[in-house]
Amino acid sequence: MNHVILVAGATGELGGKLCMELLNRGATVRAIVRAASKETTKAHLRKIGVTTIETELSDLRSLTAACDGVSCVVSTLAGLHDVIVTGQSQLLQAAIAAGVPRFIPSDFCTDYTQLQVGANRNFDLRKTFQSIIDERNIQATSIFNGAFTHVLKYGIPLLNTNDQQIAYYTGKLDWKIDFTTLDDTAAYTAAAALDNATPRYLRIAGGQVSPRELVAISKRLFGKDFQLTEQGTVEDFALYIKKVREEQPQGEHELYPSWQQMQYLYSMFSAHHATLDNDRYPLSWQSVEDALK
């Protein structure tokens, strides 16, 4: 059966790779793009075989038309409440009106079902959308991939290559953190989009590494001895982030303010996958070490 998949967010990093993976699997791929999306990116999508439909998330009629005959809507949208809650809800309404049976929301993060509301603002938006979609008559599947492996290249405290330090929290030296590359997440999401029998949640990781293991990986990659630095408890870290968030209210309107980045780090040390669904599809996975090479 020829699947028709509608991708929202195709002009983004994950969405573009997802379109390619879907096309490679023989799917017909439609993408809703904005008038304001980069012309070169839209042209590239069309060149590789994606049908682009120019519309806005506010245009329910055009979204519903875009969903006609679609077997799964996949959202890789990035944004705040207007996108993750309001925009995705519009897309959901259109999908249901058009009779689309399945919807994969733009989660692609640490397993937020293990986290309390307030722990991570961007995950709270996903939790809000989760409560909306779970009330509707459509098959929803969230993909939890932990962190994208490339975030380790951003000089975050977990792998500070400038100071050769690896931060960890009390009792978490051997705590495994889930990492998956963008490529592997895109490939897995494409396979899931074409699989009519996916469960509500799929949990994946190309690698699960602890701070202690990161020291050994860093030694092999950079030839240097990285120092482990204990930062206190995750509970104290949460209190500190709360204080910074209160002091920086303008960050509420930004996607990645400094306190949000701290919330991601907090989340890495507070939730991880007990079991993985990696083997559901025949894919090969890039390890953290290989991805950092």
Contact residues for ligand NAP, defined by CB under 6 A: 9, 11-15, 34, 36-37, 57, 76-79, 83, 87, 106, 108-109, 145, 147-148, 151
Closest to ligand NAP by CB, 198 vs 267, is: 267
Closest to ligand NAP by CB, 15 vs 257, is: 15
Question: Minimum CB separation from ligand NAP for residue 270, in Å?
Answer: 14
Question: Minimum CB separation from ligand NAP for residue 10, in Å?
Answer: 6
Amino acid at 238: A
Type and span of the H or E element at 243: helix 234-247
For residue 17, the number of C-alpha atoms closer than 13 Å in the C-beta half-sphere is 13
Q: In what side-by-side order are the strands of the sheet with 139-140?
A: 51-54, 28-33, 4-8, 72-75, 102-104, 139-140
Question: Minimum CB separation from ligand NAP for residue 230, in Å?
Answer: 24
Closest to ligand NAP by CB, 36 vs 197, is: 36
Question: Minimum CB separation from ligand NAP for residue 58, in Å?
Answer: 9
Whole-Å CA distances, 247 to 92, 215, 238, 241, 244: 35, 34, 14, 10, 5
- Angle (CA) 61-66-72 rounded to 5° is 125
Closest to ligand NAP by CB, 15 vs 206, is: 15
The DSSP secondary structure of 64-129, one letter per residue, reads HHHTTT-SEEEE----SHIIIIIIHHHHHHHHHHTT--EEE-S--BS-GGGS-TTS-HHHHHHHHH
Give every CB contact of residue 119 below 8 A, 6+ residues apart in sequence.
238, 263, 266, 267, 270
- Nearest-CB residue for ligand NAP: 12
Question: Minimum CB separation from ligand NAP for residue 277, in Å?
Answer: 16
Question: Minimum CB separation from ligand NAP for residue 280, in Å?
Answer: 19
Residue 258 token pair: 């400094």
Question: Minimum CB separation from ligand NAP for residue 32, in Å?
Answer: 8
103: β partners:
73, 140
Closest to ligand NAP by CB, 1 vs 36, is: 36
Closest to ligand NAP by CB, 11 vs 218, is: 11
Count of C-beta atoms within a 10 Å radius of residue 13: 14
Closest to ligand NAP by CB, 74 vs 241, is: 74
